[in-house]
Structure 1
């Protein structure tokens, strides 16, 4: 589901340099705005959608999200101009709202904290692999120019939109809302898993009783985590939406001409190492206990590396530096998402995860729009990429500040911190 979700979300980046911008007469700023407006609709309904999932259950709600976004994704096949592109991107955000935080919440309701880091890592592998597999796939679909009388980029939108509807329908029959409903578990396994999760939930709520959703909005840690996540998302989507366009520029730089499939394969290069690094980095955190540097160091590396890509001097070296940035971003993200559900439970967890994702995804709107607008203003990608570096360095700094604050609280009240022991106790201190 996440694979298809991210592919549909970023498909516009593949269409842009392969005929869409020319056919629709889009400037870089218009393309950036249309790419980013997705997140406005997404943000408006993110928290209500996640609370609805908490109320109605993941099976129905996640399936509903997938089917509705699939319908909108298919409609991109017939987009006619900047206005209709912007409207559809907004509606795609509305349709997708709640999927990612809903999936994070769903996994927290199924997986005890001692195993959550590695499970989130496996879930997050879908994102870099979307580009590894999806970029060449998009290239192959774009090459089908003339199929059904459509331009190649329109065929691509049709091809990546239909699977969301199919998998959404399948999810209605496959997903189960809780371990007790899982027919593939024995009774003993159901009881062990249910008891483990209930004990963790009780421990998180101990001394506070029922934790309402409004707790998440009053938590300073939730707001701090939102800003940290903003930096990662800003970097992620600056790459996702503009890397295909940057690769298009390699042709002028090198004097070579790349085919559509070749461009897709070049786009995929940074993401395969990113998937490998993410796997081993998350496994290290899982085995040795999550530390603040598991999140801060990748943010620092990403913040420094992305501006350096501007001075690489050759397409190959540029891709190598961008690969370092992609590795850094994806190394941090699954470890980051183990934090909120360590100190939030129930409705507060649903609201908190959605709030962090909502505010963080403001970076998803800001990155493509600001990158495109500043590019049009300055005539290059130098200033936009320095902005990416700034926001990622800010995330690194705030992660260190948050960890030190948590350690201070732990020393005063005996609360666990992000740098404590095993993964099951690795968290920003609750309260």
Structure 2
């Protein structure tokens, strides 16, 4: 059939993509916000979990850090299969299933008793949520070409920083509900903050289209035009439709992306899981005040994330956007670790978080450019799951440092800062414009362990 008449005018193109963005991005960002709340609210619960876990004070931080990080072990095992299933059954059903199940598991934390149950539930929560974040990244490739993706990813990922802005004061207030209906404050925290995931799962099931051709709010001409933009940029030399999982896992570029994302998450989750405790130790304030202070870095990160993502799309540059943001984050950690004044230390923590979050959009924009089709489903999930192991090591090492060093905060912050410096260096090497490594990676020829992609 001849679709030449389907070409949209410039005004129609702008109106169509505006429609797509308004229909999809607020919903996805809201879902990501809910996911992030259920992922990090354990950092606030930690302020009151001592009795429930029943461990010696001398090892409490180590026990908590390990439990916080075990979430990402569950994530690792189930993320790639989850994304491959999403590619087969569609985003609408699979996102809804993920959200309802993780909401139920998150709510089960209100019955927490003992270390074994804590570790088990954190593992199950990671397994339940696995596939959502990489699934969203894959889903965006169905609708947006690479040149527009950094800003769009930033808009969705801002749900994560909005989670900190919104949930930090709420979490602090919920911790003060001790005794209400016979429940502890931390039990109310897990109950109240798990409900939105279950409810939003049914909303997603009702309104989210799987692909452009399923969008009832687009005309047939608009559907074909949106799909044609994405189809037109599928690169013949990318890791693509016919690539085997072995080709993905043996591609050197994929492993380099994993290394960068590992360091990014080591710094990010080591920071976020412990931020309420660090803020409390710096300020000496009560839970509600700590909640409001805790929201400040998230607000700053949201502004920085949007600006960096938009500027990266505008300039077409990713390497320096990632590297400079990572180095600024490392500088923030250094300031927070070495300055005694709590206000300056908090400013350092805010800079660190803004820098860390600003790396996300340009990183995923360039990563998703080099994969398509089924390979994108497996490759994005693989990078996300292996990289998210940094989310296991970051919180665990911070807990160990706090229990086994004279100044735990100092040691932990310097460690996280060092990880981000290394990430910035790797970004400069990997994303160097027209580098031979990037060209080989795009062709699936960058070797790892002496093996080349098929």
TM-score normalised per structure 1: 0.91
1:148: Cα distance to partner? 2.6
Native 8 Å contact 2:67 2:119 kept in 1: yes
1:233 corresponding residue in structure 2: 265
Residues paired across the two proteins, number:
410
Report the Cα distance in structure 2 between the residues aligned to 1:76 and 1:209, rounded to whole angstroms.
Answer: 41
Q: Gapped runs of 5+ residues in structure 1?
A: 252-256, 416-429
Residue in 2 that maps onto 1:5: 35
RMSD: 2.1
Matches of 1:205 and 1:228, distance apart in 2: 23
Answer yes or no: is 1:72 the counterpart of 2:99. no
User: Following TM superposition, by how much is the alpha carbon of 1:341 offset from its aligned partner in structure 2, in angstroms?
Assistant: 1.5
Q: 1:107 to 1:231 in 2, by over 3 A?
A: same
Counterpart residue number, 1:390: 418
Q: Given that residues 213 and 347 in structure 1 are in contact (C-alpha distance below 8 angstroms), is that contact kept between their aligned partners in structure 2?
A: no
8 A Cα contact 1:204 1:345, kept in partner = no
Which runs of no fewer than 5 residues in structure 2 stay unpaired? 1-30, 444-452
Give the drift of 1:412. 9.8
In structure 1, what is the equivalent of residue 432 of structure 2? 404
Q: Secondary structure at the match of 1:404?
A: coil
Provide the residue aligned with 2:54 in structure 1: 25
1:313 aligns with 2:345: no
Provide closer, same or farther for how the CA distance between residues 69 and 410 of structure 1 changes in structure 2, counting only shifts above 3 A: closer
TM-score, normalization by structure 2: 0.86
| Secondary structure of 1:339 counterpart | helix
Task: Tell me by how many angstroms 1:400 deviates.
Answer: 1.2
Between 406-415 and 278-287, the greater mean CA deviation after superposition: 406-415
Q: Deviations over 1:337-360 (max 9, x none)?
A: 112221101111111111111111
* 1:198–1:266 CA distance, 2 compared to 1 (3 A): same
1:194 aligns to what?
227
Contact 2:370 2:442 in 1 (8 A): no
The residue aligned with 2:305 is 278
Q: Deviations over 1:122-175 (max 9, x none)?
A: 001111111011101111222222223100111010000111111011111111
Deviations 1:170-219 (A, max 9, x none): 11111111101101112221110011112222x34579873333332121
Give the distance between the partners of 1:413 and 1:244, measured in 2 at CA: 40
CA contact (8 A) 1:274 1:331 kept: yes
Q: Tell me how far 1:114 sits from its aligned partner.
A: 2.6
Listed one character per residue, the Cα deviations across residues 193-246 of structure 1 (whole Å, up to 9, x for unaligned) are 011112222x34579873333332121111001100111111111111111111
Q: Is the 8 A contact 1:43 1:358 kept in 2?
A: yes
Give the equivalent residue in structure 2 for 1:421: none
Q: Report the 3-state secondary structure (helix = DSSP H, G, I; strand = E; otherwise coil) of the residue aligned with 1:45.
A: helix
Q: Could you tell me whether the CA contact under 8 Å between 1:101 and 1:357 is conserved in 2?
A: yes
Shift of residue 54, structure 1, vs aligned partner: 1.1
Q: Which residue of 2 aligns with 1:53?
A: 86
| CA–CA distance in structure 2, aligned partners of residues 412 and 219 of structure 1 | 9
Q: Is the Cα–Cα contact under 8 Å of residues 238 and 371 in structure 2 kept in the other structure?
A: no
Question: Is contact 1:213–1:349 with CA below 8 Å preserved after alignment?
Answer: no
2:96 equivalent among 50, 63, 66: 63
From 92, 116, 126, the equivalent of 1:83 is 116
Taking structure 1 as reference, are residues 370 and 414 closer, same or farther at Cα in structure 2, changes over 3 Å only? closer
Query: For 2:41, what is the secondary structure of its paired residue?
Result: helix
| Counterparts of 1:98 and 1:57, CA distance in 2 | 12
Change (3 A) 1:89 1:301: same
Which position in structure 2 is the counterpart of 1:369? 396
- The structural deviation recorded for 1:413 is 12
Deviation at 1:258, TM superposition (A): 2.0
Correspondence 1:297-336 to 2 at 5 A: 297-336=324-363
- Residues 212-251 of structure 1 aligned to structure 2 (within 5 Å): 212-251=244-283
1:36–1:111 distance in 2 versus 1, CA, 3 Å: same
**Paired residue secondary structure (1:269):** helix
